[in-house]
Amino acid sequence: MMKINFPKGYYWLLERNLISYETFGALQPWLYLPKEHQFNLNDKWGTTDCFNRIAFAKRQDNDELACFVYNLEGEVLGVDLIQGWTNDGYTILKSFNSFWEWLKHVIDDMAEWLEYDI
């Protein structure tokens, strides 16, 4: 697998135990995929999309995945939120310009999760 330069924020959240690889962590319903479970979408689903995407996080209650979109040099260009395991392999639900924009979406998901969890 190509060396991808994950954003600093990815590691920052781990270092502060704000996200984990386990369900029901601090940013539930989201969790990071362990390195051995991260995958390139084109490899997994045989798509021929012109963008490279690697799944790095998942929502624990459905098939949504967060994927870094990266170029041939391994530079992350943004984050795509996808619905996996569809008839076409996956469907892009939303695109974010940065890791931090995706994290703001995670906060909204957390608020929604809490409302239904009470």
CA gap 34, 21 in Å, rounded = 6
**Predicted model pTM:** 0.92
Work out the average pLDDT over 21-29: 91
- The encoded tokens of residue 9 equal 């924020």
Q: Is the pLDDT of residue 17 over 80?
A: yes
Q: Which pLDDT score, from 0 to 100, does residue 1 have?
A: 59
Share of the chain above pLDDT 90, in %: 71
Q: Decide: 82 and 41 in contact? Cβ < 8 Å.
A: yes
Work out the average pLDDT over 68-97: 93
Q: Is the pLDDT of residue 117 over 90?
A: no
Work out the average pLDDT over 67-74: 93
Mean pLDDT of all residues in the chain?
Answer: 91
Q: Which pLDDT score, from 0 to 100, does residue 53 have?
A: 93
Tell me the pLDDT tens digit for each residue of 55-64.
999 999 999 9
